């Protein structure tokens, strides 16, 4: 059994962590032994413990919470890898992929870098990434963006995330979510789900809700997720989103739910997912919503169009354009048959192309070839 060490940068549970854990869950002890090299505390540590995966703590911050220097972080990672003696090291974020690239030459262990971000990189960062044995981009858009910056095209594969279509599927709404937050039974309920921050565009959603209020005065909006950053700009961003609803007199139509563990059930209780990101390498929440047959209104950015097609399986609008978002929201609200058509098309696409078993097969193939193992005995459900 080959040992795969997965390196997680943060102790949080967002799309990248959920996507990797979903793959690990599906394999369930087949062929590979997994070790999580990750921060010692947080929701991710709890999830690792629940799965009985070996957990090697990774220290990337000092006692004051400040990020360690590059050299200190590098030494911490080398020590963690040495403690678990893996056959393959898989960095699950761009930042950790830089670190594995920096130590790849001195290790006799192949390193895989998983690129889950679309951000501008320095030449030094590109050099670090290219020092890994293999690079995995979560979308063609992510691959193209980084290859244009100098990433080694010959090393860079596209491997899509997958979603469990048995866990995320259409269920009749029961009204429990509206009762929990004391919302009217007949209100149209829209949700945005994800980490709260500038890149996710919750401020644009707030502005669009205000613009649409004349036509949709009874719409209700849920902000699901939490802010991870403690930087002043991030704190102010979240406060301004809330203030936008309040100043427009829409505070009764708005709820902040924070972190939720019941996203599959929650998606069955809302009428529309609004995903107003300014940039999105490959939004996992879009896969989850599509699998749940939840209609989607999103921005046309990054890898989104590799999942959804405007006017066919979703409504897509330009990023940062609150008026376009408001107009599309009004249109979708008034066309329930369109929403149903989009939702059915989106689920069909996810079942065909972005199901979890397909994602597992592709990562198994990568790990097997990198570690030199045979996967003929692996079994997957149809």
Q: CB neighbours of 22 closer than 8 A, spacing ≥ 6?
A: 161, 162, 163, 164, 356, 359
So what's the pLDDT on residue 379?
41
Predicted confidence (pLDDT) per residue in 278-292, tens digit: 999 999 999 999 999
Q: Does the pLDDT of residue 377 top 70, yes or no?
A: no
| d(C-alpha 188, C-alpha 219), whole Å | 5
- pLDDT digit string, tens, across residues 98-153: 999 999 988 889 999 999 999 999 999 999 999 999 999 999 999 999 999 999 99
Q: Given pLDDT bands bounded at 50, 70 and 90, which one contains residue 30?
A: confident
pLDDT the model gives residue 65: 80
Instruction: Please give the helix or strand (H or E) that residue 2 lies within, else none.
Output: strand 2-7
Q: Per CATH, which fold does 176-353 belong to? A: Rossmann fold (3.40.50)
pLDDT in tens, 198-215: 999 999 999 999 999 999
CATH 3.40.50.2000 domain extents, the chain: 2-162+355-371, 176-353
Asked if residue 333 lies in contact with residue 216, where contact means CB atoms within 8 angstroms, the answer is yes
- Average pLDDT score over the chain: 94
What's the pLDDT tens digit per position in 62-101? 888 888 999 999 999 999 999 999 999 999 999 999 999 9
2-162+355-371 has CATH 3.40.50.2000 classification: yes
pLDDT at 64: 82
**Residue 182 pLDDT greater than 50, yes or no:** yes
For range 289-301, the mean pLDDT: 98
The predicted model gives 170-192 an average pLDDT of 96
Q: How confident is the model at residue 374 (pLDDT cuts 50, 70, 90)?
A: low
| pLDDT tens, position by position, 53-64 | 999 999 998 888
pLDDT band per the 50, 70, 90 thresholds, residue 373: low
Q: Which residues of 124-138 are buried (b: 16+ CB within 10 A; e: fewer)?
A: ebbebbbbbbbbbbb
pLDDT at 54: 96
Alpha-carbon separation of residue 230 from 22, 66, 197 (angstroms): 28, 12, 11
Q: Which residues contact 31 (CB under 8 A, 6 or more apart)?
A: 1, 2, 364, 368, 373, 375, 377, 378
Q: Any residues with CB less than 8 A from the CB of 239 and at least 6 apart, and which?
A: none
pLDDT in tens, 240-267: 999 999 999 998 999 999 999 999 999 9
Q: Residue 201: which residues within 8 A CB-CB, separation 6 or more? A: 276, 277, 278, 299, 319, 320
Whether 382 has a pLDDT exceeding 70, the answer reads: no
Q: What value does the mean pLDDT take over residues 13-26?
A: 95
| CA quadruple 353, 358, 364, 367: dihedral, nearest 10 | 10
């Amino acid at each position: 059994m080959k040992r795969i060490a997965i390196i997680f940068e943060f102790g949080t549970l967002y799309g990248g962590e959920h996507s990797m854990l979903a793959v690990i869950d599906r394999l369930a002890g087949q062929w590979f032994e997994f070790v999580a090299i990750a921060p010692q505390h947080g929701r991710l540590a709890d999830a690792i413990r629940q799965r009985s995966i070996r957990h090697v703590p990774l220290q990337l911050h000092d006692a004051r919470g400040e990020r360690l220097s590059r050299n200190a972080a590098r030494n911490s990672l080398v020590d963690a890898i040495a403690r678990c003696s893996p056959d393959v090291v898989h960095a699950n974020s761009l930042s950790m992929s830089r670190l594995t690239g920096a130590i790849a030459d001195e290790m006799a262990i192949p390193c895989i870098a998983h690129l889950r971000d679309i951000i501008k990189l320095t030449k030094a960062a590109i050099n670090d990434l290219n020092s890994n044995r293999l690079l995995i981009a979560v979308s063609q858009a992510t691959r193209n963006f980084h290859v244009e910056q100098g990433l080694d095209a010959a090393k860079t594969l596209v491997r899509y995330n997958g979603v469990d279509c048995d866990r995320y599927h259409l269920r009749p709404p029961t009204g429990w979510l509206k009762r929990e937050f004391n919302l009217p039974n007949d209100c149209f309920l829209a949700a945005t789900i994800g980490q709260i921050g500038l890149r996710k565009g919750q401020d644009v959603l707030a502005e669009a809700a205000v613009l649409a209020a004349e036509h949709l005065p009874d719409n209700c909006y849920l902000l699901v997720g939490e802010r991870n950053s403690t930087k002043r700009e991030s704190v102010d961003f979240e406060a301004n989103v809330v203030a936008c609803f309040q100043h427009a007199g829409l505070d009764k139509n708005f709820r902040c739910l924070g972190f939720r563990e019941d996203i599959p059930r929650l998606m069955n209780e809302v009428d529309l997912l609004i995903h107003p990101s300014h940039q999105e390498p490959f939004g996992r929440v879009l896969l989850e919503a599509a699998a749940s047959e939840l209609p989607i209104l999103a921005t046309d950015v990054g890898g989104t169009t590799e999942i959804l097609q405007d006017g066919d399986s979703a409504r897509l609008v330009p990023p940062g354009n609150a008026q376009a978002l408001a107009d599309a929201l009004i249109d979708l609200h008034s066309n329930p048959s369109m929403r149903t058509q989009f939702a059915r098309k989106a689920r069909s696409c996810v079942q065909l192309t972005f199901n979890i078993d397909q994602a597992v097969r592709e990562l198994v193939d990568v790990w097997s070839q990198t570690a030199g193992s045979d996967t003929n005995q692996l079994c997957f459900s149809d």
